Structure 1
Amino acid sequence: MAISIYSTLLPFPKLSVSSRKYHPFGGSNPSNLTIPTTSTVCTKALHSKTSDSLTSIITELEKESLNKDDQNKRQEDINTTHDERRLSDVWRELHGQDDWVGLLDPMDPLLRSELIRYGEMAQACYDAFDFDPFSKYCGSCRFVHRSFFPSLGMAHHGYYVSRYLFATSNINLPNFFKKSRWPKVWSKNANWIGYVAVSDDETTARLGRRDISIAWRGTVTRLEWIVDLMDFLKPISGNKIPCPDPTVKVESGFLDLYTDKDETCRYSTFSAREQILTEIKRLVEKYSGEELSITITGHSLGSALAILSAYDITETGLNVTADGQVVPVSVLSFAGPRVGNVRFKERLESLGVKVLRVVNVHDVVPKSPGLFFNEHVAPRLMKLAEGLPWSYSHVGVQLELDHKNSPFLKQTSDPVCAHNLEAHLHLLDGYHGKGHRFVLASGRDPALVNKASDFLKDHYLVPPYWRQDENKGMVRSKDGRWIQPERPKLDDHPEDTHHHLKQLGLASDH
């Protein structure tokens, strides 16, 4: 029996001989597979030659394990040295004060950590969203805002949600808005599209400021939403967003999504724009006297909304406190499309908005819209084309990642995989700079990549599309029938929303 056990172990020389459970990524695993300890091997030694041979093999395995431990300790020492720079001392640099010069190549460890943290806040929009058309709550958030982060296992982030954001689903973006098949639903004309969150006191002390964060939902299911857009630029002032320059233009579909409303629906009585502006005004007033930051994140279509809302907040002056202090506004976006023309880019930069866009070089979305006239075209030609309704320019600084550098991921041409947000966060975790080897820095589990994709190599044995509610949300009633449980009603809008709109000069009869 002993020979059988050892012969099974021998083809796996990289497994540690300590008594720990095997996991393809080096972490813990609920599997019951356990490797015998050295002492167990010794006590079960067979004849001398067999014993000597096994002892030699085990000694080599122990040496390899020690070497790996030494390497890990050296990496920990490096990380510790970097972490001696306190986040509270350098947060302005990490949020773009100097346009991230010197922080991206090689990759600054604290910046990587911050990008992953905000990326997880954007990912929370997907994890909390009800995509299921068989659910009567399809299109809503699965949790009330008071329990949002704890329900997602993200309480350690140290934020609380102050307000949910909704948009009218009357906009022609069928791949973004989801509707239930039930005749009686939570809302026929609205979808949940994100949230506003604020750092708690403990996290505020660690960050060095009170952080107001906005996270916008995008779309992960299919990429046809690009086609759904009209791909037509129009003046941003055309939708009553203030701008002194009529040549500043943005994509019309993004603009309509941000500014449209449906006053017959309690959730979309106010546009996404009105919801954002009133909440930022309320929070800046509430925390007056504290050092503040406004950090906006989003993935895919949510990235476009993040950039639009950052422009709007600064153009309307909501980031300036009563005593004249300017609250820095930063956008940390993922896999985002182009939003506006070159005049929009210039106006955004003149307002002091800092934008860092994380992209996968194989993703088609950041290359759209503006396939022919964009920031890569010669300046002279772009000058001639700037009046065209399909001449676009990216904003801010771009951090390029390449999924072909990760040894964990398949070499697939699936555009949905290349666009996946969890894959971007995995790539960030292993990115150390151009030309550097891909090495995971934080121990973030690569299995998360397959939450909503089939991107990990098969030999890691992580099922594709594995994330779902237990029993797909069905529960057993008292009479033994399987039913969808009732959920608490979502809050719609704070009672003082109209009051703040009046103060902003944006009020209308509701």
Structure 2
Amino acid sequence: MAIPLSLTALLPFHPNSLKTSRSENPLPTPFYGKTLRYLSSKFGSIRARTPLQVNQGGSPKIDESLSSIITELEREKGEQEEGEIEKQANKKLADCWREIHGQDNWSGLLDPMDPLLRAELIRYGEMAQACYDAFDFDPFSKYCGGCKYIRRKFFEPLGLADHDYKVTRFLYATSTNNLLNFFKISRRTHNWSDHANWIGYIAVSSDAMTKRLGRRDITIAWRGTVTELEWIENLTDLLIPIAPEINCCHDPMVKVERGFLNLYTSKKEDYRFCKYSVREQILDEVSDLVRQYSNEELSISVTGHSLGSALAMLSAYDIAETGLNVVSDGCNIPVSVFSFSGPRVGNRRFKKRIEGLGVKVLRVVNVHDMVPNVPGILVNENMPLFVRWLLDWLPWSYRHVGVKLELDHKHSPFLRDTVDPTCLHNLEAHLHLLDGFISFLSVYSLFSCKSIYTFSSLLYFLLVVAKIGKNTAKVV
């Protein structure tokens, strides 16, 4: 059944100007963008004239040609809608996981947002958020800087048991002079480590989850920064060759930010949790898991937020560069990065190399967040092409990698309009926006109540929902 097309959809306006209440039916957003593009390409001349003519009696009279266009669009839209509903009902993740994992760079899945992709992005985002929720930030705790939960029962106390993954290894990073503000050290005299911090984990899907996903998924989740952004001040913006540290890279022009690379490769062999760099920990564990499940279809998914996103990019590149994702029959295990509010990592040659290795990257960002704009504020991918090529040799010429999905917290009626950089950078806010994102030209639509109730650290940022069932809210 076709949904009536509002005449307002034909008027040139910004979607934010809609002042509808939550109880009203929004525009048919999945086809809203297509409607505008169809009109502008086929009937561009109509925009030059006023679609509504008002007679002396005050009643609107629709132009005859415009009325026929609307009728035709309603019919076409109704047929497309029925087809989409039937298609989505029969669609299973196990049948299309390669597309969801980025095989085609998520072409056709972002606008409008594919429901399966939305669910997967939120799931990987929650696995990154688990690194924050499990991290011990208490400076008076003996285990400050470590994980609050044991590896074998990691997800249960976090309320993520339904993810059905098993953590196979915890990851520990060695403190460096470049990113001292990132590390938390206990103020007690005797603590678990003065030189290391728990920074993430590696997990593998269970048999039941593997059946639902359509493959055995190896996930690497990285911790980022939860409340402080001082680590940005420590970035030198200087690019250094990746080749000396990752010796399988033979191109000296592939460069990354120095602080990220040092954090990824640093170690102190005299200390228990610093004997191996986080790079060595990852390569060792992923190699073992690939061998263990060599007779199954595999995928490698890397996720992280903020600084963790930069480390996710480096680790995904490293896995592909060292060939750990190449199995005995010569086929490649798909490697994808699901990045949330991540900074730039390397230069143009790094971007070219990681994409050439087949690593797929989807970057989820809040357009008002400052972190995705650093480093490389002066020279980056947004500059004119000839300027980029002219300044490409500079040691602070950066490029973003992969496909970008832009979100805007101002589109959600549940979020305050704030300029607090910590709120704009918050991972849980990104997941909330994902939960209601339909398309780039649509209004926000809440798909599940969990985007309100499970986000514990957004009390300042979120509006308190009084009656979800009646779609009403109030500010407290």
Matching residue within 330, 336, 348 for 2:336: 330
Counterpart AA for 1:426: H
1:78: Cα distance to partner?
A: 8.0
1:444: Cα distance to partner?
A: 2.0
User: What is the alpha-carbon distance in structure 1 between the residues aligned to residue 182 and residue 336 of structure 2?
Assistant: 25
Matching residue within 109, 114, 137 for 2:115: 109
1:152: Cα distance to partner?
A: 1.1
Tell me, yes or no, if the aligned pair for 1:167 and 1:271 is still in contact at 8 Å: yes
1:272: Cα distance to partner?
A: 0.4
Tell me the residue number matched to 1:194: 200
Tell me the residue number matched to 2:252: 246
Q: Does 1:435 align with 2:444?
A: no
Matching residue within 398, 423, 432 for 1:392: 398
Tell me the residue number matched to 1:410: 416
1:80: Cα distance to partner?
A: 8.1
1:450: Cα distance to partner?
A: 4.7
User: What is the alpha-carbon distance in structure 1 between the residues aligned to residue 459 and residue 352 of structure 2?
Assistant: 37
- SS of residue matched to 2:124: helix
Q: Does 1:163 align with 2:164?
A: no
Matching residue within 87, 91, 97 for 1:85: 91
1:448: Cα distance to partner?
A: 3.8
Tell me, yes or no, if the aligned pair for 2:176 and 2:263 is still in contact at 8 Å: no
Q: 1:444 to 1:323 in 2, by over 3 A?
A: same
Tell me, yes or no, if the aligned pair for 1:310 and 1:353 is still in contact at 8 Å: yes
1:230: Cα distance to partner?
A: 1.6
Tell me the residue number matched to 2:384: 378
User: What is the alpha-carbon distance in structure 1 between the residues aligned to residue 331 and residue 84 of structure 2?
Assistant: 37
User: What is the alpha-carbon distance in structure 2 between the residues aligned to residue 217 and residue 255 of structure 1?
Assistant: 16
Q: Which has the higher contact order (CA 8 A, sep 6+)?
A: 2
User: What is the alpha-carbon distance in structure 2 between the residues aligned to residue 255 and residue 132 of structure 1?
Assistant: 27
Tell me the residue number matched to 1:318: 324
**Which 5+ residue runs of structure 2 have no aligned equivalent?**
1-21, 24-80, 468-476
Matching residue within 347, 363, 366 for 2:353: 347
Tell me the residue number matched to 1:42: none
Tell me the residue number matched to 1:309: 315
For 1:376-420, what per-residue CA distance to the aligned partner results, in whole angstroms no more than 9, with x for missing partners?
A: 111111111111111000000000000000000111100100000
User: What is the alpha-carbon distance in structure 2 between the residues aligned to residue 348 and residue 371 of structure 1?
Assistant: 22
Tell me the residue number matched to 2:101: 95
User: What is the alpha-carbon distance in structure 2 between the residues aligned to residue 459 and residue 308 of structure 1?
Assistant: 39
Tell me the residue number matched to 2:371: 365
Tell me the residue number matched to 1:206: 212
- SS of residue matched to 1:237: coil
Q: Does 1:456 align with 2:467?
A: no
Counterpart AA for 1:344: F
Counterpart AA for 1:288: S
For 1:333-387, what per-residue CA distance to the aligned partner results, in whole angstroms no more than 9, with x for missing partners?
A: 1000000001100000100000000000000000111111000111111111111
1:322: Cα distance to partner?
A: 2.2
Q: 1:107 to 1:261 in 2, by over 3 A?
A: same
- SS of residue matched to 1:393: coil
User: What is the alpha-carbon distance in structure 1 between the residues aligned to residue 176 and residue 136 of structure 2?
Assistant: 18
**Which 5+ residue runs of structure 1 have no aligned equivalent?**
1-13, 16-74, 462-510
Please identify runs of 4+ aligned residues in structure 1 that moved more than 3 A. 77-81, 447-450, 458-461
Q: 1:444 to 1:324 in 2, by over 3 A?
A: same
User: What is the alpha-carbon distance in structure 1 between the residues aligned to residue 175 and residue 127 of structure 2?
Assistant: 23
Highest CA radius of gyration, 1 or 2?
1
Q: Does 1:293 align with 2:311?
A: no
User: What is the alpha-carbon distance in structure 2 between the residues aligned to residue 349 and residue 114 of structure 1?
Assistant: 22
User: What is the alpha-carbon distance in structure 2 between the residues aligned to residue 305 and residue 311 of structure 1?
Assistant: 10
Tell me the residue number matched to 2:33: none
User: What is the alpha-carbon distance in structure 2 between the residues aligned to residue 445 and residue 234 of structure 1?
Assistant: 40
1:172: Cα distance to partner?
A: 3.2
- SS of residue matched to 2:244: helix
Q: Does 1:125 align with 2:127?
A: no
Counterpart AA for 1:237: A
For 1:132-186, what per-residue CA distance to the aligned partner results, in whole angstroms no more than 9, with x for missing partners?
A: 1011100000011001011211111010000000011244323211000000001
Counterpart AA for 1:169: S
- Equivalent pairs: percent with the same residue? 62
Query: Which has the higher mean CA deviation after the structures are superposed, 229-238 or 445-454?
Result: 445-454
User: What is the alpha-carbon distance in structure 1 between the residues aligned to residue 89 and residue 332 of structure 2?
Assistant: 28
Q: Does 1:237 align with 2:238?
A: no
Counterpart AA for 2:159: G
State the TM-score, normalizing by the size of structure 1: 0.74
User: What is the alpha-carbon distance in structure 2 between the residues aligned to residue 404 and residue 337 of structure 1?
Assistant: 22
User: What is the alpha-carbon distance in structure 2 between the residues aligned to residue 242 and residue 234 of structure 1?
Assistant: 16
Tell me the residue number matched to 1:22: none
For 1:73-112, what per-residue CA distance to the aligned partner results, in whole angstroms no more than 9, with x for missing partners?
A: xx9x987862420100100001110011110000000000
Tell me the residue number matched to 2:147: 141
Tell me, yes or no, if the aligned pair for 2:435 and 2:451 is still in contact at 8 Å: no
User: What is the alpha-carbon distance in structure 1 between the residues aligned to residue 432 and residue 126 of structure 2?
Assistant: 11
